[in-house]
């Protein structure tokens, strides 16, 4: 959507940025009556969204997974639904925090249906939970906002594909498919205001590969999901930086899938 993100409260005169806070109410008096101070509307799909996972920390460590799985998945889905990749007119990267949150949803789902998760599977779920909990804490989000950035914008703290327990390989693949699909949707929104036929064509090929992963329920090679994630990020980099090499690399990756 296109909005005037810089706001002025009509009740007390306080000014704030919706881009930074994600709040439509005045931070000082709570009034919902405000006016935009920007001259023009700006494309914006993102919402500052702290993910409060602290109540689950002990449960994940001590309780059977099926005791908390539905609550945890619901909270994570709400987070991913609010997240976007265009903030105040700026196109962002497909950040690792988002991908890890998607993976935690699928890993929790897989293990909640297993009678006896192995020690390695439980430890992997714990490590994934801690990664997401740390990067989406209120402090982390506020610090990133102050920098005008997203937490974990480009870093990848998850284990390598060869370190994931076999039964959770599909969880990562499905998480990548979900993440790339969401990112692709925002890239297409971006292209409505910044037309680029070459990028749009490449996104079409990316969509087909995501559909393939979903149809196969994540039963694909780790190399394919890694390739699609890297490809999506390269297309985003091309659109942000006008780096033709990034688009060429993305196309080459897709040719090899």
The domain ranges of the chain are 2-42, 54-255
Average pLDDT for the chain: 88
Q: Mean pLDDT, to the nearest integer, of 29-45?
A: 87
Residue 80, SS3? Answer: helix
**What's this model's pTM, rounded to 2 decimal places?**
0.86
pLDDT at 153 over 50: no
> Do residues 168 and 108 make contact, with C-beta atoms less than 8 angstroms apart?
no
pLDDT at 26: 92
What does the DSSP assignment read for 224-242?
Answer: HHHHHHHHHHHHHHHHHH-
Question: 2-11, 106-115, 130-139 — which one is most confidently predicted on average?
Answer: 106-115
SS3 content of the chain, % helix, strand, coil (to 5): 60, 5, 30
pLDDT at 151: 41
Alpha carbon distance 19, 1 (integer Å): 12
Tokens found for residue 29: 């008096």
pLDDT at 138 over 60: no
Name, in order, each residue with C-beta under 8 angstroms of 68's C-beta and a sequence gap of 6 or more: 56, 59, 60
pLDDT at 146: 41
Instruction: Give the percent of the chain with pLDDT over 70.
Output: 90
* Residue 42, H or E segment: strand 42-43
Question: With bands split at pLDDT 50, 70 and 90, how would you rate the model's confidence at 191?
Answer: very high
Alpha carbon distance 228, 139 (integer Å): 31
Residue given tokens 């703290």 in the structure block: 157
pLDDT at 148: 44
- What is the 3-class SS of 90-157, one letter each residue? EECCCCHHHHHHHHHHHHHHHHHCCCCCCHHHHHHHHHHHHHHHHHCCHHHHHHHHHCCCCCCCCCCC
- 6 or 189, higher pLDDT: 189
Name, in order, each residue with C-beta under 8 angstroms of 15's C-beta and a sequence gap of 6 or more: 6, 7, 8, 9, 37
pLDDT at 159: 65
**Main-chain dihedrals φ then ψ at residue 139, nearest 5 degrees:** -65, -45
pLDDT at 147 over 70: no
Nearest to 199 by CA among 225, 238, 255, 253: 238
For 142, 178, 179, the CA distances from 182, given in Å and listed in that order, are 23, 6, 5
Question: With bands split at pLDDT 50, 70 and 90, how would you rate the model's confidence at 42?
Answer: confident
Nearest to 135 by CA among 22, 19, 53, 60: 53
Tokens found for residue 178: 């979900």
């Amino acid at each position: 959507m296109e909005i005037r993100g810089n706001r002025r409260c009509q009740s007390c005169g306080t000014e704030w940025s919706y881009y930074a806070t994600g709040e439509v109410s005045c931070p000082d008096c709570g009034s919902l009556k405000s006016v935009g101070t920007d001259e023009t509307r700006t494309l914006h799909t993102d919402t500052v969204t702290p993910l409060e996972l602290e109540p689950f920390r002990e449960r994940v460590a001590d309780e059977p997974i099926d005791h908390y799985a539905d609550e945890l998945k619901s909270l994570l889905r709400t987070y991913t639904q609010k997240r976007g990749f265009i903030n105040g007119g700026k196109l962002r990267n497909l950040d690792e925090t988002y991908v890890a949150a998607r993976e935690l949803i699928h890993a929790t789902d897989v293990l909640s249906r297993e009678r006896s998760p192995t020690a390695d599977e439980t430890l992997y779920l714990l490590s994934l939970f801690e990664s997401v909990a740390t990067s989406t804490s209120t402090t982390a989000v506020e610090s990133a906002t102050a920098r005008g950035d997203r937490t974990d914008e480009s870093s990848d703290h998850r284990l390598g594909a060869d370190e994931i327990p076999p039964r959770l390989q599909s969880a990562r693949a499905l998480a990548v498919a979900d993440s790339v699909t969401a990112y692709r949707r925002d890239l297409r929104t971006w292209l409505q205001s910044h037309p680029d036929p070459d990028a749009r064509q490449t996104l079409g090929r990316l969509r087909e590969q995501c559909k393939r992963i979903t149809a196969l329920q994540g039963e694909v090679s780790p190399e394919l999901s890694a390739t699609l994630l890297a490809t999506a990020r390269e297309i985003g980099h091309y659109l942000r930086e006008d780096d033709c090499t990034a688009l060429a690399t993305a196309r080459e990756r897709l040719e090899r899938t």
